[in-house]
Structure 1
Amino acid sequence: MTEASLDQLSPAELAALLSFYADAGVAWMVEDEPVDRIAEFEAQKAAHEARRKAPSAGPTGDGQPSAAPTRGAQAPARPATNAAPAMAIPDEHAVTEARFAAESARSLDELKTALEGFAGCNLKTSARSTIFASGDPTGGIMVIGGMPSGDDDRDGQAFAGRAGMLLDRMLSAIGLDRSGLLLTTIVPWRPPGDRPPTPIEAAICRPFIQRQIELAEPKHLLLLGNFTARFFFQGQETIHLLRGQWREIACDNHTVPGLACLHPLELLAAPAGKALAWQDLQDFRRRIDGKI
């Protein structure tokens, strides 16, 4: 897209274009100004050819030293001395720092502040928002997803956009409302391009989600999606094998029963799964009511 065409876009159109780039996984701009890499390559190739054809600095065939390169000759490119340092890769030290930060929090507000100030996970560098638990922590019910979607990242809260609207309808069908629940995600930052978090990224985020559960002290957990079920159930089975199962989730001093269910995003992609999700939601309602 040319500069002239960008000038013709309205603010709303520019915002939509930026949202498209974010959804496509564009994390940051590499340069402040556009660079013509093709022209840069051609210049480097020409310089290389000039150096290859230039006479060597040793003695010539008649015993005289060769002439020094003329002032106008192009010198070899120098390596950059102020190149940006490579991004740190999360390791066991980051896990330890995350655990310390989470355990130091004595309330959900303190934990949110600690999470927003934590810089040990590289997912944070490419995300717009840090997603933390929102809603009513006194309702006794916590709904947990795997990682923020593009809508979540833009809105700054879990279960936004189409997936959030579908979740609202799912909860309403069993007499629940998000205003009376606590909603959050395991990973607080959207991975670039919506890729799955790596094992070390998940390990870094584990202390924060466990501390959220411990501080909120819910009586029931609704665990949505494949990544969430595997994360808490400690297995490699798919959500279609784990859904409908109740497991005791231990988070330090707090243990709470959790039910695995299909994620709204999975239901949007495969609507046939709504019948299975409805069965799970009915079981969740019966457990809340003390009927199972």
Structure 2
Amino acid sequence: MTAPLNPTDLEVLLDFYVASGVDAALGDAPVNRFEESAHHAARAQARARAAPPLPAAGIGTASSARPPVQGQAPQPPRPSPALARPGSSAPPHSASASAGATIPGDDVVMAAREAAGQAATLEALREILAGFEGCNLRLTAKNLVFSDGAENARLMFVGEAPGREEDAQGVPFVGRSGKLLDQMLKAIGLAREEVYIANAVPWRPPGNRVPSPQEAEICKPFIRRQIELVDPDVLVFLGGASAKLLVGTNDGIMRLRGKWLDYQTGSRAIRAIATLHPAYLLRTPIQKRLAWRDFVKIKAALDGRVQTDVDPT
């Protein structure tokens, strides 16, 4: 017998269902949805035939007519809000719909660039990002996950997006992946407090799904400005997603990892390298050997030693 889910696991499962587009629950008995839809359509037609006819255009009803004020011309009755004008594209509840999630367009990306460019410090960037309403991921996330570590670090890591534990604490890489990253840093003589850690997307997508390309583009100006303000000597992309977004490559992580890249900030080039994401290493421990070779290169670069990009793998 399967053990019941605890509240935390149940919340994760519901998040996954919502992100996957699930809109109905299934029971033990089969349901014919086609028959159910036909039944609802027949009922709707019956209600339409039984409904009283609508008043002709321009003729008000007793409840909508107002007595004219003395000295003022009579006002025509207001049309019912439930009736849309022919050819009108505005939905009846457009005002309430605009208060929730909307589909962002290219203008939102431009607004993100302008907002990010106004930040002169990392703290100012955090405040601007916290108040930015252009990305719908903020509506489902519990916390903004901005950064962790030293703001003047020589080594900066950029992941893809926060997970459940990161969303709960508001700190990047604090779950199992974060613990593995801490061990990898310790292996080259560094501590978390000596590096700077961030994500390309600072809000957790529902159900830990992959951020959409549009969501990533909206958040891109903020992580670019974050890199400019930290100004590290070495930039490390944790996984292929952040590397593809910020460097513009289409190569997969296995082809991309272990090779030095130039990340252009607009004022200078930063040495950058991509490596395997800790979450992938937890699922595929045998690949830790490849990540170790990447971290040896990172350590050598920080120490001022030059290593070749030749990788036997």
Q: TM-score range by the shorter chain?
A: 0.7 to 0.9
Greater fraction of residues in helix? 1
- Aligned match for 2:155, one of 141, 158, 161: 141
- Aligned match for 2:282, one of 268, 284, 287: 268
Any stretches of 5+ residues in structure 2 without a counterpart?
24-32, 54-81, 84-90, 307-313
1:89, CA displacement in angstroms?
1.5
Counterpart of 1:85?
A: 97
Counterpart of 2:182?
A: 168
Question: What is the distance in 1 between the residues matched to 2:43 and 2:97?
Answer: 29
Question: What is the distance in 1 between the residues matched to 2:175 and 2:109?
Answer: 31
Query: TM (normalized to structure 2)?
Result: 0.71
- Aligned match for 2:11, one of 18, 23, 41: 18
Q: For residues 182 and 85 of structure 1, do their structure 2 counterparts lie closer, same or farther at Cα, with a shift above 3 Å needed?
A: same
Counterpart of 1:102?
A: 116
Note if 1:125 corresponds to 2:118. Answer: no
**1:231-242, aligned counterparts within 5 Å?**
231-242=245-256
The superposition leaves residues 8-56 of structure 1 with CA deviations (integer Å, 9 ceiling, x where unpaired) of x9xxx545543543465569xx9xxxxxxx9x9877754544666x6x9
> 2:97 aligns to what SS in structure 1?
coil
Note if 1:289 corresponds to 2:303. Answer: yes
> 1:213 aligns to what SS in structure 2?
helix
1:149, CA displacement in angstroms?
1.5
Contact 1:217 1:254 in 2 (8 A): no
| Alignment length (residue pairs) | 251
> 1:256 aligns to what SS in structure 2?
strand
**1:56-67, aligned counterparts within 5 Å?**
none
Query: TM (normalized to structure 1)?
Result: 0.76
1:153, CA displacement in angstroms?
1.2
Contact 2:154 2:195 in 1 (8 A): yes
Amino acid at match of 1:18: E
Question: What is the distance in 1 between the residues matched to 2:16 and 2:304?
Answer: 42
Amino acid at match of 2:109: V
Question: What is the distance in 2 between the residues matched to 1:24 and 1:268?
Answer: 24
1:127, CA displacement in angstroms?
1.4
**1:202-213, aligned counterparts within 5 Å?**
202-213=216-227
Counterpart of 1:73?
A: none
| Alignment RMSD (CA, Å) | 3.0
- Aligned match for 1:195, one of 209, 222, 231: 209
Contact 2:12 2:207 in 1 (8 A): no
The superposition leaves residues 140-187 of structure 1 with CA deviations (integer Å, 9 ceiling, x where unpaired) of 111110111222112211112111111111111111111111100001
Note if 1:111 corresponds to 2:125. Answer: yes
Question: What is the distance in 1 between the residues matched to 2:192 and 2:205?
Answer: 25
Q: For residues 212 and 47 of structure 1, do their structure 2 counterparts lie closer, same or farther at Cα, with a shift above 3 Å needed?
A: closer
Contact 1:248 1:255 in 2 (8 A): yes
Question: What is the distance in 2 between the residues matched to 1:231 and 1:14?
Answer: 35
Amino acid at match of 1:102: A
Counterpart of 2:236?
A: 222
Q: Percent identity?
A: 36
Q: Which moved more, 1:209-218 or 1:127-136?
A: 127-136
